[in-house]
Amino acid sequence: MAEDLLIDTRLLEKLERLTIQWQKSLGGLVGGHNTARFAGAGQEFLDHRQFHHGDELRDVNWRAFMRLEKLFLKVFQLEPRIPVRILFDVSPSMATNGSAAIKGTLSKFDYARKLAAALCYVGLVRLDAISLQPFSDRLGDGLRVGGGRQRFQPAARYLSGLKPGGKTNFLQCTRDFLTKFPQAGLTIVISDFLDETDCEKPLQYLADFGHELNLIHVWAEEDREPPWEGELDLEDAETGTRLELPFGPDALASYTAAFDEFTAHVREVALRNGGRYVSLSTSTPVEEAIFGPLVRSGALQ
Amino acid sequence: MNFLNLSLGEFMAIAGVISAGVVALYLLDRSKRRHVVSTLRFWIASNVPSEWKRSRRIQQPWSLLLQLVSIFLLLLAIAGPRLARDVNAIRDHVLLLDTSAWMGARARQGVLLDQAKQLAIAYINAVPAGDRVMVVRADALATPVTPFETNREPLLKAIRQSQPSASALNLEQAIEFAQRAQRLQGHSGEIVFSGAARISRAEADSLNPPANLRILQVPSAGENVGIRKLGLRRSPVKSDTWEAFVGLKNDGVRPREIELDLHFGGATVARQTIALDASAEPEMTFSFTNPRAPFLEAVIRSTSGRGDAFPQDDRAVIDVPEEKTLKVAVVSAQPTLLTALLGGNSQVETSYKNPQQYNPQEKFDIVVFDRFKPDALPVGTHVIWIEPPAGSPFSIRSNQTQAKLTRWNADSPLAAGLYTHDVELATAQVFNVAKGDEPVAEVAAGPVVVARPGPVKMAAFGFHPIRSAMRYELASPLLMANVLRWMAPETFRRMDVQAGTIGTVNISVDKGLDPASIKITGEDKRPLPFTVEGNSLRFFSGAPGNVHVSAGDRETIHSLTLPDVAETAWKPAANVRKGVPAGFSGRAGATEWWPWLALLGGLGLLTDWLLYGRSHILRVGVGPARRPTVGIPALLQKVSWRRAS
């Protein structure tokens, strides 16, 4: 079964303890499990306010009226059901293997699929509404699931059927996304964030439109420390551009420094907009990544 | 310089091929490799042309050089080079270690063999390291224990594990074996003998030592008196008397007095004090009347209190074989008539039965039918017919009265020793002679005693040996005895038991004895080869045990358990080299180079692996550890990648 390839039953059982968390107060349908600063129908008392015409008489604080002869209305805390959208990078750069096969690790694409499946399952267990949205040069056909853990199988089958392709275009994808999902929500982006143009601007757009960003940066060891030396003939996985260059220890140090600078930049975008950033190497097992960096960052609890 | 295992051409060819392979791997490794990467942005940022110039062709020259040198050293180790030596200088020595019985004699410390081992080990340690040595254990046979070896460990182990055997030394044969082994190798060397060199006097007189013989002689221990022979047989005169035969020898140079005890079973049957002059070899015979016992033991002790150098030959034991008995049944209306004929021999166990008691299923060796013809004959049993009635297997030609015995058939074994004539038989049956029948005794009308050979032997008497006039003749019991012996020769075979020494055994036999009638079987019942020259029978047994020799009507059991001690210690001529050499002249110690070369080669590869390989221990240059780029480590890593993928 395709979903079996993504995530095993033992891990699924462990995931049931977790919940997807967000920080902003976002409007949504009533019945969620995250509190918001918005007042509305709820169980928890939030505040009093002056009674206005048309307000629900059941919410009037009659004890206060008896003492003060003024009508005060009890306001309750809203528990909204926030839409969770998982943006999933399916560009060819995610599928470069390099030396991944040597160590028996997954490619970034497979790793990201497993992560997406795990997050989807966590959301489904808590009755969140999950949108799985692949992207590369444009936004692909997504899948919206919700209503409990029994809906996980279609989601897993969907993720298993995804193939890498296209050429990353974050800006175009952001435009498509904002058009498709005007309601603000939690947006989890699983990607290597490698784009010809800078990915900062599109991510900033998302934040500006009220979306809470949760960036999961997936990278392979060879992305940070290429295991080659000597005369190299390199080809870009997405553009097909070729580059010949000699590569030695000093060049490697420069390469790694440039990569680290790039990841710091992506992290800054997320944190600056009140979001979260988690950097995951494909050499870290998926289970360890979920219960380690993701839980520590607060994205899951 | 020469190479033991490879010629110079082979060495250069292999070195060239491997070096070319390493360089090819290096060049292959540094050729451009195409890789598909996620992005080029970081690569462009990392390009440092000042440090990595394209014109630089050799990236890690020291790694390549180190690998080439290491491989060259390992190949040299395999070739086994030796400086300043030529192939013809290799010498093959044969070390003959005396493991004869005498080497078990007492010495000041341990036994003589211990001293011989020490000398042999000292010689092995003195031999140049490059020379090869073969260890041969020498006793009656020369047994190689190791091939020609330069490795000293197996040689020393073979020497230390050697034990004295039970046979005497055959030095001439051992030297011939060593010469043959050296000829096969084509190299010269010494033949080294370590031991007491105690050999037979005849061999000592005829031994012509080769020029390359070296003697490491241990002093032969002096005073010894030992049992050389021990025999036992039934007295041919009295059947209840035993005769024991003991042979002693004083190997020392001084007269000795010893006490000899003979034990037959548990009983002492003889005790005698004997004075022996130097080199004396007395032989004694003892007669005693004792019931049969399972063994005879001879023990000698020194009465003077002086110790014996070789205690192994102070005691000898022989096992007395079980005597066979012949089961005979007499079926007769007057069974007691034949008691006089059959009752006198202790080896014959006779049952007397009436005709009504006869049962053909009952098992006997021989059945005697006295004037009786049964309905069924016994199966597989020899039969003696006395005056057989009509219907017996023998056909009666006529019945004679007052017939005189006229002739005994001298060619028949049944008539051996019978010369009685002119005995008048009141009645006698004359038989028809069938095909294969042998007439034994005849009257004028024809044969009256006939023998019929075959798997089941038969004999017929035409007269009654007791009821006729033959009852007064000696021929009557002799004839019956001859018939019994002819029918069951194995029962009446004369049996001697002798204790002897293992090795070559000489026995005197009757002159003109047909070799086809001789049968020699060893402990495992397998026949042993033998030769007959004149009246001397000779065979060889290399292991202790009983050997059965059957020749005619005589069987001898040789209990080959006594150690074979040769007569004299050989004194080599003055020109024979003696003692452990202090050093081999003109032969500088040849050092084995290969272990050092192998060690250096291994260290070189290890250093390369530590400095340039996958090891993270020592890293040349800056930055994180990289996978190897050239040569063997790179090849190994490539192979592991392919397996993983």
Per residue in A71-100, pLDDT tens? 999 888 766 778 899 999 999 999 886 554
- Asked if B38 and A255 come within 8 Å (Cβ–Cβ), the reply is no
Strand order in B577-578's β-sheet? B142-144, B132-138, B92-98, B191-195, B213-217, B577-578
**Cβ neighbours of residue B253 closer than 8 Å, sequence gap 6 or more:** B222, B223, B278, B279
- Asked if B51 and A253 come within 8 Å (Cβ–Cβ), the reply is no
User: Could you say which of B37, B44, B622 has the minimum Cβ distance to residue A96?
Assistant: B37
Note whether A86 and A64 are same-domain residues. Answer: no
Q: Which pLDDT belongs to residue B493?
A: 72
**Best residue in A197, A228, A229 to probe B by mutation, most B CBs within 10 Å?**
A229
d(CA A70, CA B459): 158
Mean pLDDT of B323-329: 85
Shortest CA distance from B35: residue in chain A: A234
Angstrom CA distances, A1 to A12, A104, A120, B99, B330, stand at 15, 21, 18, 79, 100
**Is residue B54 less than 8 Å (CB to CB) from chain A?**
yes
Tokens of B353: 């039965």
User: Is the confidence at residue B630, as pLDDT, over 70?
Assistant: no
d(CA B336, CA B340): 8
Closest approach of B43 to chain A, Cα-based (Å): 6
d(CA B101, CA B565): 6
For residue A138, is it within any domain?
yes
Q: What CATH number matches the domain at B326-487, 3.40.710.10, 3.40.50.150, 3.40.50.880, 3.30.1540.10? A: 3.40.50.880
Q: What mean pLDDT, rounded, does chain B reach?
A: 81
Contacts of A244 in chain B (CB under 8 A): 32
- Asked if B42 and A258 come within 8 Å (Cβ–Cβ), the reply is yes
ipTM over 0.85: no
Note whether A177 and A68 are same-domain residues. Answer: no
d(CA B280, CA B255): 9
Tokens of B138: 């020498």
d(CA A207, CA A209): 5
Q: In b/e form, how buried is each residue of B77-87, taking b as 16+ CB within 10 angstroms?
A: bbbbbbeebee
CA atoms A167, A169, A174, A176: torsion sign: negative
Q: Are strands B2-3 and B81-82 parallel, antiparallel or unpaired?
A: antiparallel
**Best residue in B33, B38, B627, B636 to probe A by mutation, most A CBs within 10 Å?**
B38
Beta strands in chain A (DSSP E): 29-30, 45-50, 72-76, 80-81, 83-89, 129-135, 143-145, 186-191, 212-219, 230-236, 242-247, 276-281
Scanning B594-623 for CB atoms below 8 A from A yields: 621-623
- Asked if A232 and B35 come within 8 Å (Cβ–Cβ), the reply is yes
Q: A72 lies in which domain range?
A: 39-76
Q: Which pLDDT belongs to residue B628?
A: 43
For residue A34, is it within any domain?
no
- Asked if B35 and A192 come within 8 Å (Cβ–Cβ), the reply is no
Torsion of CA B529, B531, B536, B540, to 10 degrees: -40
Mean pLDDT of B334-351: 82
Note whether A95 and A223 are same-domain residues. Answer: yes
Lowest mean pLDDT among A187-196, A285-294, B547-556: B547-556
pLDDT digits (tens, 9 = 90+) for B569-616: 888 888 888 888 876 644 444 556 778 888 998 998 888 888 776 544
Note whether A47 and A168 are same-domain residues. Answer: no
Q: In b/e form, how buried is each residue of B555-588, taking b as 16+ CB within 10 angstroms?
A: bbbbbbbbbbbbbbbbebeeebeeebeeeeeeee
Domains of chain B, by residue range, sit at 2-32+55-83+594-644, 87-222+568-578, 225-319, 326-487, 494-562
Beta bridge partners of A230: A247
Task: Look up residue B282 and give its amino acid.
Answer: P
pLDDT digits (tens, 9 = 90+) for B446-485: 999 999 998 899 999 999 888 888 888 888 888 988 999 8
User: Could you say which of B29, B36, B51 has the minimum Cβ distance to residue A96?
Assistant: B36
d(CA A242, CA A98): 16
pLDDT digits (tens, 9 = 90+) for B263-299: 988 788 889 998 888 888 888 889 888 777 788 889 9
d(CA A195, CA A167): 8
User: Is the confidence at residue B121, as pLDDT, over 90?
Assistant: yes
pLDDT digits (tens, 9 = 90+) for B230-259: 888 878 777 778 888 898 888 888 888 889
> pTM value?
0.47
- Asked if B45 and A255 come within 8 Å (Cβ–Cβ), the reply is yes
Note whether A252 and A148 are same-domain residues. Answer: yes
Residue with the bigger pLDDT between B1 and A49: it is A49
Q: In b/e form, how buried is each residue of B122-156, taking b as 16+ CB within 10 angstroms?
A: ebbeebbebbbbbbbbbbbbbbebbebbbeeeebb
Q: Which pLDDT belongs to residue B592?
A: 64
For residue A164, is it within any domain?
yes
Residue with the bigger pLDDT between B506 and B174: it is B174
pLDDT digits (tens, 9 = 90+) for B157-168: 999 999 988 888
Numbers of helices and strands, H then E, in chain A? 12, 12
Mean pLDDT of B5-23: 79
Mean pLDDT of A270-281: 89
Which CATH number does B225-319 carry? 2.60.40.10
Residue A293's pLDDT band (boundaries 50, 70, 90)? very high
Region of residue B86 (left: phi > 0; alpha: psi -120 to 50; beta: else): beta
User: Could you say which of B59, B629, B644 has the minimum Cβ distance to residue A101?
Assistant: B644
Mean pLDDT of B223-235: 84
Q: What CATH number matches the domain at B87-222+568-578, 3.40.190.80, 3.40.50.410, 3.30.70.270, 1.10.1060.10? A: 3.40.50.410
Whose tokens are 């004359």? That residue is B430
Q: In b/e form, how buried is each residue of A217-233, taking b as 16+ CB within 10 angstroms?
A: bbbbbbbbbbebbbbbe
For residue A229, is it within any domain?
yes
Q: Which pLDDT belongs to residue B583?
A: 63
Q: Confirm whether B87-222+568-578 and B494-562 share one CATH topology.
A: no
pLDDT digits (tens, 9 = 90+) for A100-128: 445 567 889 999 999 999 999 999 998 88
Q: Which pLDDT belongs to residue A89?
A: 93
- Asked if A230 and B644 come within 8 Å (Cβ–Cβ), the reply is no
**Cβ neighbours of residue B615 closer than 8 Å, sequence gap 6 or more:** B609, B625
d(CA A185, CA A181): 9
d(CA A114, CA A11): 11
For residue A33, is it within any domain?
no
**Is residue B455 less than 8 Å (CB to CB) from chain A?**
no
For residue A31, is it within any domain?
no
Residue B51's pLDDT band (boundaries 50, 70, 90)? very low
Cβ neighbours, 10 Å, residue B21: 14
Angstrom CA distances, B376 to B36, B315, B331, B597, stand at 108, 56, 13, 93
Scanning B13-32 for CB atoms below 8 A from A yields: 29-32
Instruction: Return the half-sphere exposure (C-beta side, CA atoms, 13 A cut-off) of residue B286.
Output: 23
DSSP state for residue B483 in the 8-state scheme: H
Instruction: Identify whether the C-beta of residue B147 lies closer than 8 Å to the C-beta of residue B134.
Output: yes
Shortest CA distance from A234: residue in chain B: B35
d(CA A119, CA B586): 88
Nearest to A219 by CA among A262, A275, A272: A262
Concatenated DSSP letters for B351-371? Answer: EEE-GGG--TTS--SEEEEES
- Asked if A251 and B35 come within 8 Å (Cβ–Cβ), the reply is no
Numbers of helices and strands, H then E, in chain B? 11, 34
d(CA B482, CA B488): 10
Residue B636's pLDDT band (boundaries 50, 70, 90)? very low
Scanning B620-639 for CB atoms below 8 A from A yields: 621-624, 626-627, 629
Residue A42's pLDDT band (boundaries 50, 70, 90)? low
Which of A113-117, B343-347, B389-393, B529-533 ranks highest by mean pLDDT?
Answer: A113-117
Nearest to A275 by CA among A297, A293, A253: A297
Q: In b/e form, how buried is each residue of B308-346, taking b as 16+ CB within 10 angstroms?
A: bbbebbbbbebebeeeeebbbbbbbeebebbeebbeebe
**Best residue in B33, B35, B639, B642 to probe A by mutation, most A CBs within 10 Å?**
B35
Instruction: Identify whether the C-beta of residue A131 lies closer than 8 Å to the C-beta of residue A86.
Output: yes
For chain B, give the percent of residues with pLDDT over 90. 16
d(CA B427, CA B399): 7
What size, in residues, is chain B? 645
Contacts of A96 in chain B (CB under 8 A): 36-38
Which CATH number does B494-562 carry? 2.60.40.10
Instruction: Identify whether the C-beta of residue B424 lies closer than 8 Å to the C-beta of residue B403.
Output: yes
Q: Which pLDDT belongs to residue B95?
A: 93
d(CA B629, CA B63): 9
d(CA B176, CA B484): 54
Whose tokens are 């021999």? That residue is B345
Q: In b/e form, how buried is each residue of B493-527, taking b as 16+ CB within 10 angstroms?
A: eebbbbbbbbbebebebeeeeeeeebebebeeeee
Q: How many domains does chain A have?
A: 2
Angstrom CA distances, B351 to B272, B354, B482, B541, stand at 45, 10, 19, 43
User: Is the confidence at residue B642, as pLDDT, over 90?
Assistant: no
SS3 assignment, position B544: coil
Residue A147's pLDDT band (boundaries 50, 70, 90)? confident
Q: Are strands B326-332 and B366-370 parallel, antiparallel or unpaired?
A: parallel
**Cβ neighbours of residue A233 closer than 8 Å, sequence gap 6 or more:** A242, A243, A244, B32, B33, B34, B35
Concatenated DSSP letters for A97-130? Answer: -TTHHHHTPPPHHHHHHHHHHHHHHHHHHTT-EE
Burial (CB count <10 Å: 0-12, 13-18, 19+), residue B219: exposed
Mean pLDDT of A128-142: 91
Note whether A85 and A63 are same-domain residues. Answer: no
What size, in residues, is chain A? 301
Instruction: Identify whether the C-beta of residue B324 lies closer than 8 Å to the C-beta of residue B347.
Output: yes
Closest approach of A235 to chain B, Cα-based (Å): 5
d(CA B170, CA B164): 14
For residue A178, is it within any domain?
yes
Residue B86's pLDDT band (boundaries 50, 70, 90)? low
Nearest to B468 by CA among B419, B406, B383, B403: B403
- Asked if A252 and B46 come within 8 Å (Cβ–Cβ), the reply is yes
Note whether A154 and A276 are same-domain residues. Answer: yes
Note whether A60 and A162 are same-domain residues. Answer: no
Scanning B563-592 for CB atoms below 8 A from A yields: none
Nearest to B543 by CA among B505, B502, B512, B506: B502
Domain of A17: which CATH number?
Answer: 3.40.50.410
Mean pLDDT of B394-422: 86
Note whether A65 and A110 are same-domain residues. Answer: no
Contacts of B645 in chain A (CB under 8 A): 101-102
**Is residue B357 less than 8 Å (CB to CB) from chain A?**
no
User: Could you say which of B30, B43, B59 has the minimum Cβ distance to residue A255?
Assistant: B43
User: Is the confidence at residue A248, as pLDDT, over 90?
Assistant: no
> How many Cβ pairs within 8 Å bridge chains A and B?
129
Contacts of A254 in chain B (CB under 8 A): 45-48
For residue A32, is it within any domain?
no
